[in-house]
Structure 1
Amino acid sequence: MRSAYVTGTFDTKGRELNYLRQSLEKLGLRVVTVDLSTSGKPSSASVHPREVARHHPQGEAAVFSNDRGNAMTAMAQAFEAFLLTRRDLGGIISAGGSGGTSLATRGMRALPIGVPKVMVSTMASGDTRPYVGPSDICMMYSVTDVQGIHRISELVLSNAANALAGMIAHPPIASTTASRPALGLTMFGVTTPCVQHVTHRLESEYDCLVFHATGVGGQSMEKLADSGLVAGVIDVSTTEVADEIVGGVLSAGPGRMDVFARHALPYVGSCGALDMVNFGAWNTVPERFKGRNLYRHNPSVTLMRTTAEECRQIGEFIAAKLNAMRGPVRFLIPEQGVSAIDRQGQPFFDAQADKLLFDTIQSQFRAGPQRSLQRLPLHINDEAFADALVAAWREIAQPMAAGRRAG
């Protein structure tokens, strides 16, 4: 029987967490309560904090230290490892403020996509990326602080329990696309024509999953790759690397593309939107960049053209990641521009910066029998470039498909 896991810091939120437990039990679910407290106080939960802490690589002593910050970080790590050992987990719910939410959601993010996850928190209205990341966590704003059972908290917690119960009791309907292998693609607004053409060419053979390359988009695609849920990727829009190198707001972190060094998945990549770094509204652009080539994409987004030196650094980053990949690799360079506003007559056209980007990638790329780089006299949004991406994908995907059939 699949269980609903109720998790949080029972030393400070025990009443609220037990209300969730009671609500779920009334709905007929088996409930496991997991205490993530680091205070050392007695616990009423099914799973004691020390049992969770034993899953830390250094044991429970690493969790129960005199430093609260270190203790919470260690407990979050232990909880992640603990959850991955549970075979009866049907879904999970947490309730708390920033601390408890941070503890619980690290474990949630480690669970596969599709496992029901609900976060009730004061932090659900604001910057939720540190809690949700690339995972499918459902958020419910607690309205009041998670403190006490009253007319508001009863409504919110009851709705949250009903939501989790519904997801556990009614798993997703079998996918109508499951017969086709899943293919991950990255898209940005300025590379949309390219990706749309690629998906049009491949959607009869593949379940095309398009990710918006906004930082968390790249992370989401790579989480699926880590989970074995995609057959490979066509990484058209590696733009998140520019934000990581220069300091924009849409970085996917320094680990972007590392998943392909862990898993030998076929990878086709390109330079989509590496001409730009992203910021918010015009007045949010850091002062040090105010004299740069800036472009108002819309009232909420300001783009900044990457310089030649930044393009060199971006090229070095990408080449190093490509060289570490274990599977077959094809990397295609569109020599006439990498975005809709990077072509002759457009505001981000800079042939010198683009050439340094392309030359750096090419000079540092290690070619091999299953690894090649191709420069094409095309713009990234030309149909011919999209066709070349499709051809590259077929070249490396078909041998793997034949191998699967033979096995």
Structure 2
Amino acid sequence: MPPLKTYIAVIGTLDTKLEQFLYLRSQILKNDPSLAVILIDAGRSVIEHDAITIKQHEVLKASGFQGGDGALMLLPRGDLIKIMIKGAIETVKQLKDREEIQAIISLGGSGGTSIASAVMRELPITFPKLIVSTVASGDVSFYIAETDITMMYSVVDIAGLNEVLKAVVDNAAAAIVGMAKAYAKRIGNGHNNIKATKKGIGITMFGVTTKGVDAIRKWLESHGFEVYVFHATGSSERSMERLAKGGRLHGILDLTTTELADELAGGVFSAGSSRLTAAAKAGLPQIVSVGALDMVNFGPRDTVPKEFRGRKLIEHTPSVTIVRTTERECEELGKRVAQRLKENCIRPEFTEVWLPLRGVSALDVEGQAFYDKVSDEALFTAIKNGLEGSGISVNELDTDINDPGWSESIAKRLSELIELKG
């Protein structure tokens, strides 16, 4: 049955932003007086107010900090934030474990956003999380990571209560009220978060591999699987890993590994050196391919570094420019694919690499702008050589990555691997 009352956690540094948080609290209750607000103080200094539900000293105690108020005041800001993050995570985790909150919201600058986002990253996917932040108009990947945190730009600094900030906070309050009520209704109907009813499969996709992925997805769905498609823009593997840890994924089809090219050449969608390791370390059945390794991704055309401007270059959208990878880069990419799989696969018998010999993207087929058989061959050869003796099989198909026959074959094989693993 649904909770008797819907509670929204509001967390922030109340020693510097009490006025703004009290306004947020009032607007939440104005939207729906039947709701309850749990106001949590994660600031440096002790603040007393009747509206504060969980006081600063309680958060501090949850962090395990042994010093008193005097020692806390002397801490550098960075150390203080780490302590408050630890205490806030533990505090909110206890509330969530007891099912005493159905949403969380915060306001903040860089410090407050760091605390709130760290807390929210520990909460389950689909649990409502919203931050109004001064940093939300920039690169917020550090704060959001692979989670579903919603961030709203404050437009003006969170200082005082001018008409612009009040309007932004009004919108945020309305949004979190709607999220909380929807979530409470969902869990009341027995759909708490994302309980598995089917075996789940994660697939990575890019625009230039969409046709193939769509065909794979439809085949898998028609055979009883739940399919989660991840856009390969830097956090796809972390997102897959989070769902896998939650027991949601039973297999991975890492069709689109383009982030490796960005890591190598300095593109904007790098996933870092852990790419290709999560599913391997988990022992999940997986098929890895080389989708979109023919390209490095940059921003608008004028942001492409000078050393790339003499290459084959396509303005994919006004905000995305793609550059063709070279033969030497493709050889190195092949070596990295092989090395990371070989070094991290705990169950090599459940990992396979599939190579589409006629093109690794929609732009890499004969007659298209990025078609380069020599570079592709360097990629394929490096993978095959690198995986020799590893126990990881390599399957070469005389087709391109978006071909319908390829799609059905690779979908069938992944379902077989999942069945074999049981």
TM over 0.5: yes
- Residue 253 of structure 1 deviates from its aligned partner by 2.7
Size of the aligned set, in residue pairs, is 398
* Equivalent residue number for residue 34 of structure 1: 40
Distance across 2 between alignment mates of 1:74 and 1:361? 45
* Equivalent residue number for residue 203 of structure 1: 221
Q: Unaligned 5+ residue runs, structure 1?
A: none
- Residue 154 of structure 1 deviates from its aligned partner by 3.5
- Residue 355 of structure 1 deviates from its aligned partner by 2.1
Shift in alpha-carbon separation, 1:321–1:153, aligned structure 2, 3 A: same
Distance across 2 between alignment mates of 1:106 and 1:289? 37
Distance across 2 between alignment mates of 1:316 and 1:77? 40
Q: Is 212-221 or 267-276 further displaced after alignment?
A: 212-221
Shift in alpha-carbon separation, 1:180–1:320, aligned structure 2, 3 A: same
What amino acid sits opposite 2:296 in the alignment?
A: V
- Residue 396 of structure 1 deviates from its aligned partner by 0.7
Shift in alpha-carbon separation, 1:113–1:333, aligned structure 2, 3 A: same
1:183-202 deviation per Cα after TM superposition (whole angstroms, max 9, x unaligned): 21111111122112111211
What amino acid sits opposite 1:191 in the alignment?
A: T
Distance across 2 between alignment mates of 1:192 and 1:75? 43
* Equivalent residue number for residue 356 of structure 1: 378
- Residue 113 of structure 1 deviates from its aligned partner by 0.9
User: Which structure 2 residues correspond to residues 98-113 of structure 1 after superposition, within 5 A?
Assistant: 98-113=110-125
- Residue 80 of structure 1 deviates from its aligned partner by 4.0
- Residue 70 of structure 1 deviates from its aligned partner by 4.3
2:151 to 114, 135, 139: 139
Mapped contact 1:265–1:326 kept (Cα < 8 A)? no
Task: State yes or no: 1:335 paired with 2:357.
Answer: yes
Q: Unaligned 5+ residue runs, structure 2?
A: none
Task: State yes or no: 1:18 paired with 2:22.
Answer: yes
1:336-393 deviation per Cα after TM superposition (whole angstroms, max 9, x unaligned): 2211121233322222322222222222226677x42212222212222212211221
2:419 to 386, 398, 406: 398
1:53-102 deviation per Cα after TM superposition (whole angstroms, max 9, x unaligned): 5666x856798764323443554455445544442332110001232112
* Equivalent residue number for residue 182 of structure 1: 200
Distance across 2 between alignment mates of 1:257 and 1:186? 11
* Equivalent residue number for residue 345 of structure 2: 325
Shift in alpha-carbon separation, 1:253–1:22, aligned structure 2, 3 A: same
Mapped contact 1:330–1:392 kept (Cα < 8 A)? no
Shift in alpha-carbon separation, 1:359–1:79, aligned structure 2, 3 A: farther
What amino acid sits opposite 2:181 in the alignment?
A: A
Distance across 2 between alignment mates of 1:294 and 1:384? 30
Shift in alpha-carbon separation, 1:116–1:63, aligned structure 2, 3 A: farther
Mapped contact 1:367–1:373 kept (Cα < 8 A)? no
* Equivalent residue number for residue 272 of structure 1: 291
Mapped contact 1:218–1:240 kept (Cα < 8 A)? no
Task: State yes or no: 1:263 paired with 2:282.
Answer: yes
Distance across 2 between alignment mates of 1:200 and 1:74? 47
* Equivalent residue number for residue 158 of structure 1: 170
1:283-323 deviation per Cα after TM superposition (whole angstroms, max 9, x unaligned): 11012322233222233221111123322332233223323
Distance across 1 between alignment mates of 2:419 and 2:74? 53
Distance across 1 between alignment mates of 2:170 and 2:45? 29
Task: State yes or no: 1:68 paired with 2:86.
Answer: no
Distance across 2 between alignment mates of 1:361 and 1:63? 54
Distance across 2 between alignment mates of 1:151 and 1:190? 45
Shift in alpha-carbon separation, 1:258–1:53, aligned structure 2, 3 A: farther
Distance across 2 between alignment mates of 1:60 and 1:231? 43
1:294 to 300, 308, 313: 313
What amino acid sits opposite 1:345 in the alignment?
A: G
State the identity as a percent: 39
Distance across 2 between alignment mates of 1:91 and 1:63? 29
Distance across 2 between alignment mates of 1:53 and 1:246? 44
Indicate the SS of the match to 2:40.
strand
Shift in alpha-carbon separation, 1:48–1:288, aligned structure 2, 3 A: farther
Shift in alpha-carbon separation, 1:254–1:148, aligned structure 2, 3 A: same
1:378 to 399, 403, 406: 399
User: Which structure 2 residues correspond to residues 69-88 of structure 1 after superposition, within 5 A?
Assistant: 69-73=78-82, 75-76=84-85, 79-80=88-89, 82-86=91-95, 87=97, 88=100
Task: State yes or no: 1:192 paired with 2:210.
Answer: yes
